[in-house]
Amino acid sequence: MMGKPIATTRTVMGVSTGKLAVWWLIVSEIVIFGGLLASYVMHRIGHPEWAASAAHTDVRIGGLNTMVLLTSSLMAVLAHAAAGRGDGPLAAKRLAVTIGFAVMFLCVKAYEWTTEISHGYTITASGFWQFYYVAAGIHAAHIIAGAIIMGFVMMQARRNHELGRVELIGLYWHFVDLVWIFLFPLLYIAK
Amino acid sequence: MFELLDLKQGSSYAGDIDQLILMITIITGVWFLLTAGMFFWLLFRFRAKKDESGQYVTGDEPQLKRWVTWPHMLILLCDIAVIVMAVNVWYTVKQDLPEADATIRIIAQQWAWTFVHPGPDGELDTPDDIRTVDRLYLQEGITYHYKLSSVDVLHDFSVPIFRLKQDAVPGREITGWFKPTVQGEYGIQCAEMCGIGHGIMGARLILQSASDHEFWIQSNSPTPVAQVTGQ
Amino acid sequence: MASADAATHDDHGHGNGKVPGALRGFLKDDHEWFYFQTWMILTGLFIISYIGPFIGEALHMFAITMVTAFGIAVVKAGLVIKRFMHLMDEPKFIWQMNATALVFILLFFFWVAPDVMSHEGANWGNQAGASITMTTHIEDFDPDVVWTERCATCHGEEGRGDGPAGTAIYPRPTDFTSRAYWATADHDIMATAILDGGVALGRSRYMPAFRTAFAAGHGGGHEGEVDTLPGERTEQLIARIMTFRPPPEAAPAPAPVAVPTREPTPTPTPEPVIDDTVALDGYGLIPGGEVVPAPAPAPTGPSEAELAARAQYIQGRVFN
Amino acid sequence: MATAAPHAHDHGHDDAHPEESWVIKYLWSTDHKIIGLQYLFTGMAMAIIGGYFAYAFRMQLAFPGESVPTYGVVSPAQYNAMVTNHGTIMIFWVAMPVLIAAFGNFLIPLMLGCDDMVFPRINRLSYQIFLLSALVLIASFFVPGGGFGGAWTSYPPLSSEAGYSLTPLGSTIWLLAVALEFVAFLLGGINFITTTMNSRAPGMKYTDIPMVVWMIVLASIIFMASVGPLIAGAIMLLFDQNLGTHFFDPTAGGDPLLWQHLFWFFGHPEVYVVLLPAMGIVAEIITTFARKKLFGYKTVLYTAIATGILSFFVWAHHQFVAGIDPRMANLFTATTVLISIPIAEMCFVYIGTLYGGSIRFTTPMLWALAFIFEFLIGGVTGIFLGASGSDIYFHDTYFVLAHFHYTFFPIAIIGTFAALTYWFPKMFGRHLNESLGKIHFWGTVIPFNMIFIPLFILGVGGQHRRIYSYEHFPELFQPWQQDLRVMATVSLLVMLVFQALFLMNFFYSIFKGKKASKNPYNANTLEWLADSPPAHGNFLHLAEMPVVHRGPYEFNHPDRDEDYWPQWLPPEGVSAAPPADPEPAADPEPADESADQDADQDSDQDSDEESAS
């Protein structure tokens, strides 16, 4: 398709089309994570015996991951600030750091999961563990998807193309960080 | 309406449910005929004619808007009436548990019903319980509680003559009640998809008089030696 | 505190007057310093929420853990939404649609919780939720109880294939008291029939599969090895069925089929499902053996009148 | 992912089209019209498969045990699989793609006066994922163990334990197909919503948007907001089926009712997702052929939004007897019966539109009127099931089946035929044969009623659903009941024969039909400004993109001699000349100006009901 259609350029609602689409994406993600966490909380309150399994989650690793994601959120918003000033290469550099934090988050999670699985806490070990792996798993999948797309946006930003997209991937990244902000107490602290 | 389909009312609350269905039929029937009548009349009255062209009506004109807002309000009243009647019937059938003269246990499994009758001593889960498969022997005129459970998948204990349906959820024990008011042999169905044999999961309901039932209990109660191991 | 900075946030000030010396190279203007401050607040809140549970346990006040964990999570979320996502600077329908999605989820939670969260309610009790195992999944698996509850419905109390639920099925359930059956019975065929149902053998589809039922109440397999519990339980049930075996006749009956005591095949790969329409006669095709004519149904069992009544409306149609 | 570099020049720029090869033009196209037609033809193909299943199991019900021509003897496992997949296909692979995706893709850019969807490549990706999901679903019939047979609601533990359903592969692949279909419609949905919100033609206030565009966008929003929990539920069910987790396994702490709630929280909004587009289509057709303004545009819009919101509060009326807490049932019966009010309001407004019109009984108008009448019956019989008391008896009987066919059939079949016959000239540039159309209309609607009125009677008699053959239930195997089943099956056969007539008329007219002009019905909405079939980029070849000056239904306006007033005609240009080419926009200020000033004014109203839905 040659060039973007005129439809994309119109902003009747005062919000750029891309941002509007990302906000609608966030609405659909709220409902997906919301449904999953609502089911988890219902079962958690219904099954007090799950606290025994929950005791085996490692708060230190969860805390480290929370710090990693918070810092990556900072770098994402700084990249957006740089893009706002039209400074593509700086935005690209900061996006690269964000992706680095994302990879770090995944490595920490990989280490965390392997230790837990080696201790016998597999997905079928108990009711808690199945929700633990599904919730953290879907979240990690969103991290991976976000990091990949951020890679593309970074490459374009380096050549000062489509700088508007830096803000959009930043919005998505903040949302993924928000989900983790709620996942952390639910999975690690509620013992 | 049910006599036409020769479906007798077999339980104490069957009449209430039929009454509710009749009331809803009347209310919705009246609204349907009014609306359909208006619909066809407008089609006939305003069909395209040679000289006449359509009018410009924005729908805000008060005397025309009344034709929509008035039915709107009346339907709200009818809805409230239906809700009150429905909740009333629902409370008598599903929420309120009258005093039970006897309690039976109904266990649904993939493709058969097992009924546990308390037996001569009237107590459930005692060695003298009578366990029957696909044939439920009950006495007309006394109030029964049923403890419904399933051992594998979802089933639904459905007795059309009682107008009763209740899903058997594996992992739960659901208590309900009915009071037979007729005698004879009727059908029990499984009304929830439960796999390949869902179609053969019918059972028979035999409602007996007091004496016949007593005779059945004596003749079918297992000998004192607990042939059926109570769990 | 957050609102105080909102003013500076909009001016996109390009001077970096307020940026402290150390970070000058990193933060390019006040605007970015504002983001960095937000990050520092978030880190502080995180540390509080991290320490909270330890204080809570020390003082045995569970409320502290809850407040620090979830209360701070909400505050952190608010900060990220307001300052990083600039939600409040967008037209107001953006945050309204997100709030609507959240309201729908809360609605879902509060209207489903009475069924899933609590284990008692009007007229129902959730045994599984309170992890009471049901009759047939009791730990001490009792073949007699299982036979009475699950098998006798179709196979009959004495195993003659005359159970009340069995009369509705054609071909008839297996009669374990007939010698013809035992002459050609094969242990593996019986185990597969019990575990994976009649369909897996191409026989009558109305023999359900019990692998799931026998594995139930047993919280998942251990590491790596296949869940052997259904196999062991099937062996006990087969031993129970063997009791129906008729005593050998006066003439020296062939040596009883030795029950091979070997490890049950972990996951018997069922042969391809034979087209259902084939099994019209009694036992269908026993692999390798010739077709054995169906034994005459045992005399006892449902009375003639009932059989006639059933036959009347089955009207001889063949269905299975 | 999204393109948003703000460079605003709104005037059409004629980009040279390299002559695309046939494959690129039709199979890999990003043009919203081609993608709309792809959805349409895939939906029609799946409708034929769904219809074949209906034929096969209806024959088994009417003549139990006998061999069905072109199929053979139907075994219980195959019967269950066909019933399950008939429901799944007709809702997810016929009603949604045709009503929302086909007509949404085709009409939204045209009716909003822009050249394409906002994200053309995502639009193409959504169709490709949808096609993949259709193939995955068809594959689920041919795996060992056969297709999934646990009803389209796939209640665990039957669906989560291969030991109970005896279709280990069938149930997993079926679930994957449904999940893929959700992904396709999420992508499509975001496209529709963003295009409608942002890319309206200059001057098009929110009350100038045609009703069908409003309804399709509302349907997409309701779908997106309700499908979330079910996607989480589908992942949990997938793990239960394959990894041995116990989300819904009651023997190890799971709860089957959680799935039912997750499913029906999506299930009931889903039926409104399919209803609203059909309502929008009927609104367009009735106003055009009654030559009358819609009786209260804002009434219809706000009742549609009210229906959308209320549809999230009613889901458990599907579970009155399913073991939920009886006290909750009172809450749900109240909200369910109350939701009949907005829908009744919409029907009254549509009937009110007929008042004072000059009604022309063309084929599309016949379909639209049939929709209103048949849907009235469907809606009215819903009260029996919404009232908890009577649902105790009617749950899972053929009364329920007849009720939801009286709502789904008008939506998916009558609504589709109405839209297809109405927009056929615009889609293919040729007219359908009018008399063949009328024969097909009566040949479909009369047999339809003859199928489901007998099923209503059987349902009141207590006949329960999804039963392979009623020979095991003496009360349900009376001769007069069997005659009703035969009557329903024969009517189905008659109806299927008439569909062949339609297909013949459809494919003949695409190539040989009478040539169609730009505005054959003298309607007002923007799609009739583009030529038939619209060129690539819709309005790019015109002097400049269309500007909207009035509402979509200004028929018989007092100060206008002709009985219609297209949206794109400037106000004072009461020109006698047929508006083949509109004269350049009279008002001096550039189009963007009026767009921004309108944007601020209407974004407030827009926001409160946009968000409210």
Question: Which residue among B27, B56, B174 places its CB closest to the CB of D557?
Answer: B56
The verdict on C141 and C242 lying in the same domain is yes
Do the beta carbons of residue D175 and residue D181 sit within 8 Å? Answer: no
CATH number of B3-95: 1.10.287
Q: CATH 1.10.287 occupies which residues in chain B?
A: 3-95
Residue C256 pLDDT grade (very low, low, confident, very high; cuts 50, 70, 90): low
B133 to C163: CB separation less than 8 angstroms, yes or no: yes
Question: Which residue among B97, B172, B197 places its CB closest to the CB of C126?
Answer: B172
pLDDT average, residue stretch C156-184: 82
Residue D9 above 50 pLDDT? no
Tell me what pLDDT residue D59 has: 95
pLDDT average, residue stretch A75-104: 94
Interface predicted TM-score (ipTM): 0.89
**Sheet bearing C120-121, strands edge to edge:** B130-133, B112-117, B102-109, B144-150, B172-178, C124-126, C120-121
Contacts of D314 in chain C (CB under 8 A): none
Contacts of B195 in chain C (CB under 8 A): 208
Residue D609 above 70 pLDDT? no
Rounded CA-CA distance A108/B124 in Å is: 57
B199 to D355: CB separation less than 8 angstroms, yes or no: no
Tell me what pLDDT residue D166 has: 87
Query: Which one is predicted more confidently, C297 or D412?
Result: D412
Tell me what pLDDT residue C170 has: 76
Residue D157 above 60 pLDDT? yes
Rounded CA-CA distance C73/B112 in Å is: 52
Tell me what pLDDT residue C285 has: 38
Do the beta carbons of residue A18 and residue D122 sit within 8 Å? Answer: no
D190 to A4: CB separation less than 8 angstroms, yes or no: no
Residue of D nearest to B48 (CA): D358
Q: For domain A21-47+58-189, which architecture applies?
A: Up-down Bundle (1.20)
B/D interface, count of CB pairs below 8 Å: 282
**Main-chain dihedrals φ then ψ at residue D203, nearest 5 degrees:** 90, -5
Tell me what pLDDT residue C275 has: 46
The verdict on C139 and C85 lying in the same domain is no
- Asked which of C9-13, C99-103, C231-235, D410-414 is least confident by mean pLDDT, the reply is C9-13
**Sheet bearing B184-190, strands edge to edge:** B135-139, B203-208, B184-190, B155-159, B164-168
- Asked which of A95-109, B167-181, C18-32, D281-295 is least confident by mean pLDDT, the reply is C18-32
B95 to C124: CB separation less than 8 angstroms, yes or no: no
- Asked which of C188-192, D3-7, D250-254, D453-457 is least confident by mean pLDDT, the reply is D3-7
Tell me what pLDDT residue C309 has: 58
Residue B60 pLDDT grade (very low, low, confident, very high; cuts 50, 70, 90): confident
Query: Which one is predicted more confidently, C286 or D274?
Result: D274
The answer to whether position C50 is within a domain reads: yes
Do the beta carbons of residue D178 and residue D92 sit within 8 Å? Answer: yes
The tokens for C14 are 């390009």
The tokens for A98 are 């964000």
Query: Which one is predicted more confidently, C229 or A161?
Result: A161
D120 to A5: CB separation less than 8 angstroms, yes or no: yes
Rounded CA-CA distance D232/D234 in Å is: 5
Tell me what pLDDT residue C191 has: 87
Tell me what pLDDT residue D611 has: 33
Tell me what pLDDT residue C222 has: 42
The answer for D253, left when phi > 0, alpha when psi is -120 to 50, beta otherwise, is left
Query: Which one is predicted more confidently, D603 or D357?
Result: D357
pLDDT average, residue stretch D173-179: 96
Q: CATH 2.60.40.420 occupies which residues in chain B?
A: 102-220
pLDDT average, residue stretch C249-261: 53
Residue C218 above 80 pLDDT? no
Q: Distance between the two ends of chain C, CA-based, in angstroms?
A: 76
Rounded CA-CA distance D4/D198 in Å is: 12
The highest-confidence range among C265-269, C272-276, D569-573, by mean pLDDT, is D569-573
The highest-confidence range among C139-143, D30-34, D368-372, by mean pLDDT, is D368-372
Query: Which one is predicted more confidently, C7 or D322?
Result: D322
Tell me what pLDDT residue D379 has: 94
Rounded CA-CA distance C266/C16 in Å is: 71
pLDDT average, residue stretch D245-262: 90
Residue C106 above 90 pLDDT? yes
Do the beta carbons of residue C42 and residue C74 sit within 8 Å? Answer: no
pLDDT average, residue stretch C230-253: 77
Report which DSSP code applies to C186: -
Q: How many residues does chain A have?
A: 191
pLDDT average, residue stretch C55-70: 82
pTM: 0.87
pLDDT average, residue stretch D278-282: 96
pLDDT digits (tens, 9 = 90+) for B157-174: 999 999 999 999 998 899
Do the beta carbons of residue D134 and residue D178 sit within 8 Å? Answer: no
Residue B18's nearest CA partner among D394, D380, D330, D320 is D394
- Asked which of B30-34, C64-68, D128-132 is least confident by mean pLDDT, the reply is C64-68
Helix axes B62-90, B14-45, angle to 10 degrees: 160
Residue D371 pLDDT grade (very low, low, confident, very high; cuts 50, 70, 90): very high
Question: Which residue among D118, D245, D599 places its CB closest to the CB of A17?
Answer: D118
pLDDT average, residue stretch D348-357: 92
How far CA D579 is from CA of B146, D115, D423, D518, D582, in Å, comes to 75, 20, 20, 10, 6
Average pLDDT value over all residues in chain C: 72
Instruction: Give me the domain span that covers residue C200.
Output: 135-314
Q: pLDDT exceeding 90 applies to what percent of chain C? A: 13
Rounded CA-CA distance B14/B186 in Å is: 15
Rounded CA-CA distance A143/A149 in Å is: 10
pLDDT average, residue stretch B111-132: 88
The residues near C64 (Cβ < 8 Å, ≥ 6 apart) are: C52, C53, C55, C56
What type of residue is D206? Answer: Y
Residue C284 pLDDT grade (very low, low, confident, very high; cuts 50, 70, 90): very low
Residue of A nearest to D246 (CA): A127
Query: Which one is predicted more confidently, D563 or D449?
Result: D449
Average pLDDT value over all residues in chain D: 88
Rounded CA-CA distance D21/D29 in Å is: 10
To the nearest whole angstrom, how far is the Cα of C208 from the nearest Cα of chain B? 7
- Asked which of B130-134, D86-90, D364-368 is least confident by mean pLDDT, the reply is B130-134
Residue C196's nearest CA partner among D164, D177, D283, D436 is D164
Tell me what pLDDT residue D532 has: 87
Do the beta carbons of residue C165 and residue B132 sit within 8 Å? Answer: no
The verdict on C81 and C222 lying in the same domain is no
Tell whether B100 lies on the interface with C, counting CB pairs under 8 A.
Answer: no
Tell me what pLDDT residue C224 has: 42
pLDDT average, residue stretch D412-436: 95
pLDDT digits (tens, 9 = 90+) for A120-134: 898 888 889 999 999
Query: Which one is predicted more confidently, D605 or D297?
Result: D297
The SS3 assignment for A22 reads: helix
Question: Domain boundary at C89, C122, C156, which?
Answer: C89
- Asked which of A3-17, A68-82, D40-54, D223-237 is least confident by mean pLDDT, the reply is A3-17
B131 to C148: CB separation less than 8 angstroms, yes or no: yes
Which class is domain B102-220?
A: mainly beta
pLDDT average, residue stretch D390-394: 95
Residue B29 above 90 pLDDT? yes
Residue D548 pLDDT grade (very low, low, confident, very high; cuts 50, 70, 90): very high
Q: How many distinct structural domains can be found in chain C? A: 2
Tell me what pLDDT residue D250 has: 85
The tokens for D499 are 């569909």
The SS3 assignment for D192 reads: helix
Rounded CA-CA distance A57/A63 in Å is: 11
C124 to B172: CB separation less than 8 angstroms, yes or no: yes
pLDDT average, residue stretch C230-241: 84
Question: What element of type H or E holds B144?
Answer: strand B144-150
Rounded CA-CA distance C12/C8 in Å is: 8
The verdict on C83 and C151 lying in the same domain is no
Residue A40 above 90 pLDDT? yes
User: Residue C286: how many CA atoms within 13 Å on its side-chain side?
Assistant: 19
D472 to B21: CB separation less than 8 angstroms, yes or no: no
Rounded CA-CA distance C181/A105 in Å is: 63
Residue D442 above 70 pLDDT? yes
Tell me what pLDDT residue C297 has: 44
Rounded CA-CA distance D562/A177 in Å is: 59
Helices assigned H by DSSP within D9-146: 22-26, 32-62, 76-88, 103-112, 120-139
Helices assigned H by DSSP within D429-478: 434-460
Chains A and B share 3 or more Cβ pairs within 8 Å: no
Residue B112 above 50 pLDDT? yes
Residue of C nearest to B95 (CA): C122
Tell me what pLDDT residue C31 has: 85
pLDDT digits (tens, 9 = 90+) for A163-191: 999 999 999 999 999 999 999 999 998 77
The tokens for D276 are 């609203």
Tell me what pLDDT residue C128 has: 60
Residue B206 above 50 pLDDT? yes
Rounded CA-CA distance A113/C273 in Å is: 40
pLDDT average, residue stretch D215-230: 96
Tell me what pLDDT residue D331 has: 95
Tell me what pLDDT residue B2 has: 61
Which class is domain D29-511?
A: mainly alpha
Q: pLDDT exceeding 90 applies to what percent of chain B? A: 65
